[in-house]
Amino acid sequence: MEIKLAKTAGFCYGVNNAIKTVLDLREWADKKIYTFGPIIHNPSMVNHLSELGVVSVSNIDEIQPPAYIVIRAHGVGKDVYDEIEKRGFTLIDATCPFVKKIHKLVNEKYKEGYVIIIAGDSEHPEVKGISGWCDNRAIVVNNVDELASLPIVDKKVFACAQTTLSYENWLSIAEALKGRFKHVETHNTICSATIERQKEAEDLSKEVDVMIVIGGKESSNTRKLFEICKKNCERTYKVETPGELPMLNTKEINKVGVIAGASTPDWIIKEVVSKMDSINRTQNEENFGEIFEDSMVALKTGDIVKGKIISVGENEIFVDLGYKSDGIIPLEESSVDEVNKPHDIYKPGMEIEVFVEKLNDGEGNVLLSKKKADYIKGWDILENAHKTGQPVEAVVSEVVNGGVIALTRGIRIFVPASQVSDKYVKDLGNYLKQKINVRITEFNKNKNKIIGSQRILLEEEKERLANELWNSIEVGKKYEGKVTSLAKFGAFVDIGGVEGLVHISELSWHKIKHPSEVLSVGEEVEVTVLEFDREKEKISLGYKKPEDNPWNKAASKYEVGDVIEGKVVRLVPFGCFLEIEKGLDGLVHISQISNKRIAKPDDVLKVGQKVGAKIIEMDLENKKIALSIREVNPIDPVEEIVEEKEAVNGNETDPAEEIPTEHKEELSVTLGDVLGKIDITDKEDSAG
């Protein structure tokens, strides 16, 4: 029996991209990972991701922050994006690029007033997602018959297709739409990979005796493939796993065709084909023994051999060695370090090298060690790395006197304290369990001695980045950088191998006492190049942004005649400065403080005092605002003294009211002078 596998079987681009997105995210994610709906229509893959800690949810309310949420390959409606943004989750979009284009098309046509019609399955998540880009008002039809119930409208109609719709179905729907509506625009949005896969299914099913279609039960494209194959080959079977394969008498079958949906992982396809091949060999009793013996790999204890991972458990890894028995790697022999778990490193279908410990572990399995194979091969790899200067990745396992020990393939590399970083490291313990890249600087296998340096690599990388930066730097260019240190006069920021200074005056639009009020060491910031000198290797950077300048906003917020409340921030002989808002001060001239003459502002005002003032002049170009206190609530020192005297005498009448107007000011000064010379003893004597 010949088994013929379709060339297009397995993941399409969009599905592969979605799975890769999730797996890559796991490498660096610092928060829980969720997918909105199953990432693809394949339960085996979804279960695999679930085992890795990736949770599939159908409602955003199920998500516990903080979290990453990955949009499924089939896509979602605009309302889901809006809700995710509203709740502050980190969004990772794994929507198939072809589906993404449909979203854009539908949204544009809907805004132009078109009635949207989607050819496809109304319950399919892809179709629901597309409809979400036209306020869920799309009309969905799955075949020509469903068009009959549609009302005839005089509006413009835009029609598109679910990416996995059969091409023949789309052609018939598109043709019928043109005959039913006056203004119809159709756009074939069936994925080209889908068309190619359906065409191969059509051709292959015509030349075989049995057709096997592999894919998830909920997968639309798998269902379409099954329908196409069934028309040409009566004995067509749809399976999700190898265990669902039908019992076949291979002696009566000449050729079997195998095709898989776009969401079917490679390892499931291989397992199905492998099982069919096994059935074929088993049923062929005349040649089975010979075939079996010829296919067996000769193993002996101490060999290093290649094998393919069958499955990954919590405590062991099963490996296909091509031997009569499978191999088992116990967890402690898997080279899994403290940083990673078996699922992080090993995947079904992965080819690895292993050391044969025993041909029979007592239960009929071959006992293997990945750790020993790595160790033996590791010395050769490290020796070559020493000769070529190739960097080596290792994990810091312990801190020792004078440095750290880093492990790679079970081999210890000593990294001196001075070579751990290109900067002074106060506590080497911070590197424990961390991955580092080192260059082998000393190698002696006979003495079991290897010394490495991360510092050399960091300095080389820093030099490379610095050269790139100096060759491209220009005034006004923005950079993403990291704050490396703070000083009284400003903050130093690394913008890619070179440090620049943000002067304290460039950190904020209002006055600050220390840069720590704005930035902290290690913070990621965006800075702008103000000036630079390559010869002196100096760069001046700006952090505060023009759009935050309160003087730029003042024109739209204030105008002459406005009354504001300000705080006295500085007193000078000619007046005082009021803080209108952070970074925006105005001057009250001494003549605008009171209706009375005052000798100096601090006679009636003090720093920190809040007062009302009117804006009497604005010169924003020169950053000047003139204010008047006296036009709002003048501060009159004479009145304050008179009130004090009245409180002492118990006299409620103001003597100044009986004095002619032209003499009031003169008398006020005289009374003030007199009262200023009277001490408390004189007052008590008078009262007596």
From 126, 240, 271, 499, the catalytic residue: 126
How long, in residues, is the chain? 688
Relative to beta strand 157-161, strand 115-119 is parallel
Q: Let me know: does 440 contact 392? Beta carbons within 8 Å.
A: yes
**Token pair recorded at residue 475:** 């005034």
Closest CA to 207 of 452, 4, 436, 461: 4
Closest CA to 334 of 361, 315, 351, 311: 315
State the greatest distance between any 2 C-alpha atoms of the chain, in Å, as a whole number: 141
Closest CA to 408 of 454, 455, 350: 454
The 3 state secondary structure assigned to 205-266 is: HCCCCEEEEECCCCCHHHHHHHHHHHHHCCCEEEECCHHHCCCCCHHHCCEEEEEECCCCCH
Buried b (16+ CB within 10 A) or exposed e, 321-357: bebeebbbbbeebbbbbeeebbbebbebeeebebbbb
**Residue pointed to by tokens 């080192």:** 438
Closest CA to 592 of 565, 569, 615, 622: 615
**Residue pointed to by tokens 């079987």:** 9
DSSP 628-649: ESTTTS---HHHHHHHHHHHHH
Q: Let me know: does 35 contact 56? Beta carbons within 8 Å.
A: yes
Q: Let me know: does 330 contact 340? Beta carbons within 8 Å.
A: no
Q: Which long-range contacts (CB under 8 A, 24 or more apart) does 267-274 make?
A: 267/348, 267/349, 268/42, 268/44, 268/214, 268/241, 268/242, 269/5, 269/9, 269/10, 269/214, 270/349, 271/241, 271/242, 272/212, 272/214, 272/239, 272/241, 272/242, 272/245, 273/3, 273/5, 274/242
Listed in sequence order, the residues at least 6 apart from 201 whose beta carbon sits closer than 8 Å to its beta carbon are: 6, 213, 225, 228, 229, 259
Using alpha carbons only, how large is the chain's radius of gyration in Å? Answer: 40
- What residue type is 352 in one-letter code? I
126 catalytic, yes or no?
Answer: yes
Instruction: List the Cα angle 499/504/509 in 5-degree steps.
Output: 125
DSSP state of 152: P
Active site residues: 126
